Amino acid sequence: MFYLRSIKFDLTLAFSSSSGCITLKALLFTLTFLVLTGWFPFLTFAQSSTETDFQKAREIAFEQKNYSQAIQLCKQVLQQDPEYIDARILLGRLYYWNGAADSAIVELKKAYEQMPAYEDATQALADVLYFEKQYDEALHYLAAGLTQHPQSRGLLTRKATVLAGKANYKQAYRLADSLLAGDPNNDQLLALTSQLREYSYENRIELTYDYTHFDEQFADAWHLAGISYGRQTKIGPITGRVNYANRFASKGWQFEADAYPRLSRTFYTYTSFAYSADLPIFPKVRAGLSLYANLPKAWEVEAGARFLRFDESIWAYTFSVGKYIQNFWVNGRTYLTQGNNSVANAYSLNTRYYLKGADNYASLIVGWGVSPDDRSQAVRLNSNEKLQSFRIGGGYRFAVAKRHIFSLNGNYENVEYLPETKGNQLNISTLYQFRF
């Protein structure tokens, strides 16, 4: 968006003392003066020169990433026309990208004071104040901007982001989710709302149940039930979980804890540890660690490791890439194993289609191999054979009054449970979560 400027100049005109209007003689004199003295070409050239330099500065900044040269061009434009507000806004952003945060704030405040009603000036200033963790000041300018533009999605989205920075997660989530309901194709809002979902309430209780039926491999079905309590803390959500399983015609318990500590605006981690004395129903030890990065344009990447201890130890290294694309979230993941040469690697492609908000979506998954993060199936990694499997499934998750979350998923798997011997299995998993 560009602010249309007008070139201002003062000339003394003769007015009729009786009517207060410009006389024809004075008008003709003024036009003759402008033509003879060359003001018209000069004004046209000055406007063309500053606009050309501004567009060149944008090109150098966004395409060549040469911020220093773009800064000099913006300064040159402002020397010719100090009221060129778009050049001042660009200069402020360039200062910040070039590591001069104080200079950026000074220039952007000048732009805001020059025209408080100009939305671009408010957005740019709020962005830099947010990145500098000056959250209260950012909210001040956003509130002022929203009095001028109460329906501005750009300002409201920034307000939700700043509220999240202040750890006011519940208010931030409600605002972002309401914006998403009115603009479900906005992948930036979808990414923000999904990140805030787990932070929106301080406490949650979750019940899960998984049922697995085998047509050949086992005579009895597998059952896995779990109950967990999670709490939002200053560093991120922490969850404790107790799992009960009935499989291999035996019963057992597992105790688990995981957390998602947030390191910065960009990075957060996943940590997990589980213990069970009931081998082989559960692994003796399960541990996990991942580092996530939220990148621009709604991208997210992850790298981490998983450890499983049965009679022998299994290490798996995981890498994933995800992106929000309008209503969709698409994630590709791989697990590369090491230590037990008989264990196969695993790959999966997971897609979600969001309907009304971050807790309302349909999902589809296609995968090969066994994931060490799959609580219902990870015990199959305790094998002396490099066995293959193919999986496809889908599910639906929805919220009732925002506090009650329900989920139902079904997966079909074709499993090689002995060398060159395959069987089919059906897994159904359910979830209920209450937030408070």
Identify the pLDDT of residue 25: 54
- Whether 356 and 329 have beta carbons less than 8 Å apart is answered as no
Question: In the 8-state DSSP scheme, what is residue 61?
Answer: I
Identify the pLDDT of residue 19: 41
pLDDT reading at 343 higher than 70: no
Identify the pLDDT of residue 42: 44
pLDDT reading at 51 higher than 50: yes
Q: In this structure, what is the dihedral angle of CA atoms 122, 124, 125, 127, given to the nearest 10 degrees?
A: 120
Tracing tokens 């929805």 back to the chain, one arrives at 398
Identify the pLDDT of residue 18: 39
Residue 357 burial class via C-beta count within 10 angstroms: exposed 0-12, middle 13-18, buried 19 and up = buried
Identify the pLDDT of residue 266: 87
- Whether 397 and 406 have beta carbons less than 8 Å apart is answered as yes
Q: How far from 72 is each of 63, 77, 81, 115, 297, CA to CA, in Å?
A: 16, 9, 14, 23, 28
Identify the pLDDT of residue 191: 83
Q: How confident is the model at residue 188 (pLDDT cuts 50, 70, 90)?
A: confident
In angstroms, the CA 334 to CA 193 distance is 26
Identify the pLDDT of residue 4: 40
Identify the pLDDT of residue 192: 84
pTM of the model: 0.71
Q: What is the CATH T-level fold of the domain 24-197, as seen in this structure?
A: 1.25.40
For residues 191-202, average pLDDT: 80
For residues 267-294, average pLDDT: 96
Residue 219 burial class via C-beta count within 10 angstroms: exposed 0-12, middle 13-18, buried 19 and up = exposed
Q: Helices 39-59 & 24-37, crossing angle to 10 degrees?
A: 60
Q: How confident is the model at residue 6 (pLDDT cuts 50, 70, 90)?
A: very low
In angstroms, the CA 196 to CA 186 distance is 16
- Whether 432 and 206 have beta carbons less than 8 Å apart is answered as yes
In angstroms, the CA 234 to CA 261 distance is 9
In angstroms, the CA 392 to CA 335 distance is 17
Q: Helices 39-59 & 67-80, crossing angle to 10 degrees?
A: 160
Identify the pLDDT of residue 375: 92
Identify the pLDDT of residue 406: 97
Query: pLDDT tens for residues 87-113?
Result: 999 999 999 999 999 999 999 999 999
Identify the pLDDT of residue 10: 37
Assigned CATH class of 204-435: mainly beta
Average pLDDT over the chain, rounded to an integer: 87
- Whether 294 and 300 have beta carbons less than 8 Å apart is answered as yes
3-state helix, strand, coil in the chain (%, to 5): 35, 40, 25
Identify the pLDDT of residue 353: 95
- Higher-confidence residue: 16 or 199? 199
Q: Where are the domains of the chain?
A: 24-197, 204-435
- Whether 108 and 94 have beta carbons less than 8 Å apart is answered as no
Q: Shortest CA distance to 235 belongs to which of 258, 261, 257, 259?
A: 261
- Higher-confidence residue: 187 or 292? 292
- Higher-confidence residue: 195 or 390? 390
For residues 394-413, average pLDDT: 95
Tracing tokens 């109460």 back to the chain, one arrives at 150
Identify the pLDDT of residue 14: 34
Q: How confident is the model at residue 17 (pLDDT cuts 50, 70, 90)?
A: very low
Query: pLDDT tens for residues 228-279?
Result: 999 988 888 999 999 999 999 999 999 999 999 989 878 999 999 999 999 9
Q: How far from 211 is each of 25, 29, 136, 298, CA to CA, in Å?
A: 95, 93, 49, 35
Q: How confident is the model at residue 202 (pLDDT cuts 50, 70, 90)?
A: confident
Identify the pLDDT of residue 264: 85
| Range of lowest pLDDT (69-73, 85-89, 164-168, 426-430) | 164-168
Identify the pLDDT of residue 26: 54
CA atoms within 13 A on the CB side of 410: 3
In angstroms, the CA 187 to CA 358 distance is 11
Tracing tokens 């750890």 back to the chain, one arrives at 167
E strand or H helix that includes residue 252: strand 250-259
- Give the range with max mean pLDDT: 18-22, 149-153, 234-238: 149-153
Q: Shortest CA distance to 245 belongs to which of 392, 374, 425, 345?
A: 374
